[in-house]
């Protein structure tokens, strides 16, 4: 993979998930870009666009206030700008890629994306060059498996970055699960859906299949406005699985700290 393929470019990342913000910024920072600006939603993105010129925009689809679709339409139809826009979404819905293109986006990347798939789409859109590969790194206690392969790929041997991402994940995920429980108990479908989707997005970096699948089930019941009682057991399972995953991640952090000290 040619890490210099974006040299001199200014990029706007529109993403509401703090973990994804950090990972995309980290990946792009190794490519020689001139500047990377982060917007937490469409409204912030539009303010950035009015003040700066961008070579490409990475646009999350599902965000609060203004989502990716609405923001893209404003950029195209009201601001009349032709900045290349690449959609990013964790929702693998058939036809969503076509919808993105129909609304004025130039490319599409599904979460969890690899470094290669992100660069490949950016090079296609910007007509640049690049390539890459990945290795497997999994933690397991026999019941829960934590896959850190994607994080390793993003970190590129940067132990400090890996530790920061794991720590951030461990700070955010319990809070996210607690919010899902609160919104479910309160009968708040919309916020339950948004929080479950946020959890899925975080789990595309620190990949824990059991938690991702449970988040997806909760997201689906919220989308279809099904009985809230169906989510109670799912959220309890998430809590139990997360506790096991947390122990594995704490051991990984200890190992990383020991390795760094020995080095």
Mean pLDDT throughout 3-9? 74
Per-residue pLDDT tens for 127-159? 754 444 446 788 998 889 999 988 887 787 789
- Tally of domains within the chain: 2
More confident residue, 86 or 114: 86
Nearest to 130 by CA among 36, 6, 23: 6
Per-residue pLDDT tens for 173-191? 999 999 999 999 999 999 9
A 10 A CB-CB count for 262 gives 6
Domain of residue 167, CATH code: 1.20.120.160
Q: Identify the domain boundary among 75, 102, 126.
A: 126
Look up the domain containing 86 and give its range: 10-126
More confident residue, 102 or 208: 208
Are 159 and 121 within one domain?
Answer: no
Q: What is the pLDDT of residue 229?
A: 84
Per-residue pLDDT tens for 222-251? 888 777 788 999 999 999 999 999 999 999
Domain of residue 60, CATH code: 3.40.50.2300
Q: Per the domain annotation, does 143 fall within a domain?
A: yes
Are 97 and 162 within one domain?
Answer: no
More confident residue, 100 or 169: 169
In which residue are the tokens 């020991």 written? 258
Our CA dihedral for 163, 165, 168, 172, rounded to 10 degrees, sits at: -140
Q: Per the domain annotation, does 1 fall within a domain?
A: no
Q: Identify the domain boundary among 71, 92, 126.
A: 126
Are 163 and 190 within one domain?
Answer: yes
Are 113 and 219 within one domain?
Answer: no
Q: Identify the domain boundary among 126, 159, 183.
A: 126
0.75 exceeded by pTM? no
């Amino acid at each position: 993979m040619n890490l210099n393929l974006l040299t001199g470019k200014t990029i706007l990342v529109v993403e509401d998930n703090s973990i994804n913000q950090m990972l995309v910024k980290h990946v792009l920072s190794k490519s020689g870009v001139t500047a990377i600006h982060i917007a937490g939603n469409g409204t912030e993105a539009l303010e950035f666009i009015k003040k700066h010129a961008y070579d490409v925009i990475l646009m999350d689809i599902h965000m609060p206030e203004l989502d990716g679709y609405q923001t893209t339409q404003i950029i195209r139809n009201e601001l009349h700008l032709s900045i290349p826009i690449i959609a990013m979404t964790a929702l693998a819905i058939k036809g969503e890629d076509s919808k993105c293109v129909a609304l004025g986006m130039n490319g599409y990347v599904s979460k969890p994306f690899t470094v290669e798939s992100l660069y490949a789409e950016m090079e296609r859109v910007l007509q640049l060059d690049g390539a890459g590969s990945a290795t497997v790194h999994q933690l397991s206690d026999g019941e829960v498996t934590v896959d850190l392969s994607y994080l390793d790929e993003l970190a590129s041997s940067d132990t400090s970055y890996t530790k920061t991402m794991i720590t951030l994940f461990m700070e955010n995920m319990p809070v996210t699960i607690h919010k899902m429980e609160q919104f479910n108990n309160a009968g708040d479908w919309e916020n339950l859906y948004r929080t479950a989707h946020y959890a899925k997005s975080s789990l595309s970096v620190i990949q824990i299949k059991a938690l991702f699948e449970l988040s997806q089930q909760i997201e689906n019941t919220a989308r279809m406005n099904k009985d809230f009682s169906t989510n109670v057991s799912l959220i309890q399972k998430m809590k139990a699985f997360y506790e096991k995953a947390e122990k594995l991640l704490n051991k990984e952090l200890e190992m990383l700290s020991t390795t760094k000290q020995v080095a």
